[in-house]
Amino acid sequence: YSEGIQTIKRLIYEEGENMSGNRLRTLMTDEFYRVMANVHDVEKAKILWDHITNIYSAEIDKYKAKQFLTRDSLVSLIIPFHVEYPIDGSLVGLQSNIRADAFVPLIPLIAEMKTGKQRRAHELSLVGYALAIESQFEIPIDFGYLCYVIVDKSVLTNCRLIHISDSLRSDFLEVRDRGFEAIETDPGMPKRCDDSCPFLRHCNKL
């Protein structure tokens, strides 16, 4: 997804006033063959790539009707967010180099895309990103956008707005503190590991 968004932005800057919805579709087809070598599941990646292309091709045609738009203005109107947004999480006890899937600065709003089943931890990750941005830039982040994506024969999304409430903030800090405590005390392996844990294979090798 992020590669597709970044590619569309680049193409708009390169093409300028020559860009249109049809032109974007043609260029994005060519661009996909550039990125497909690094894709694990080419079929699903193509479905998602085409989905993104169709959305922003329509947006280009809508905004191209407006006069006196610079390339930068056109990009900001069509895609008013940043993908793979870098955040310094060190001030809230996270890694110094973390990345949110997307950040919408005008609202401001943090967004995450997930696959698989819905989990409470996904909401808390939004809170962590929000706290990190607040500490880094001293701006309030009151909302997050959590989007579950299923790519089969088409792209299905289940997205919802999350209020970054005081309760959620407290829950995140509690989970964070438990993590610090676990690092200090080394409680050992749990009886059952979460299948979605990114360290599952690493720990089971020990």
Which positions ≥6 away from 40 have C-beta within 8 Å?
Answer: none
| Number of residues assigned to the chain | 206
Domain ranges in the chain with CATH number 3.90.320.10: 83-182
User: pLDDT at position 148, please?
Assistant: 97
CATH 3.90.320.10 fits 83-182, yes or no: yes
Q: Distance between CA 52 and CA 10 in Å, rounded? A: 14
Token readout for 179 is 């993590």
| pLDDT at residue 202, rounded to an integer | 74
Structure tokens at 31: 């661009």
Residue 181 pLDDT: 86
Q: What is the spatial distance between Cα 82 and Cα 110, in angstroms, rounded to a whole number?
A: 10
Which stretches of the chain score pLDDT less than 50? none
pLDDT of residue 190: 76
The reported pTM is 0.84
In the chain, the percentage of residues whose pLDDT exceeds 70 is: 98
